[in-house]
């Protein structure tokens, strides 16, 4: 694909809202997943310390 300008790239031929919205939702899911994994790890480490 070849876009003539930055605004044409962002608009993506009329599908920009869907494309960038999808990227945004995916990025939010990645961040939430990483935060959930980190929280679970901290919880498990805390439980392990309490058992020792």
Do 25 and 33 meet the contact criterion of CB atoms below 8 Å apart?
A: no
| pLDDT tens digits along 1-52 | 788 999 999 999 899 999 999 999 999 999 999 999 999 999 999 999 998 7
Output the CA torsion sign for 30, 32, 7, 19: positive
Tell me what pLDDT residue 48 has: 95
What are the structure tokens assigned to 45, written together? 């480490």
Q: What pLDDT shows up at residue 43? A: 97
> What is the structure's pLDDT at 3?
81
pLDDT given at position 52: 79
| 24's tokens | 């945004």
């Amino acid at each position: 694909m070849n876009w003539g300008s930055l605004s044409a790239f962002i608009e993506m031929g009329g599908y920009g809202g869907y494309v960038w919205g999808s990227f945004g939702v995916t990025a939010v899911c990645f961040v939430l997943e990483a935060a959930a994994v980190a929280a679970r790890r901290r919880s498990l480490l805390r439980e392990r310390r309490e058992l020792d």
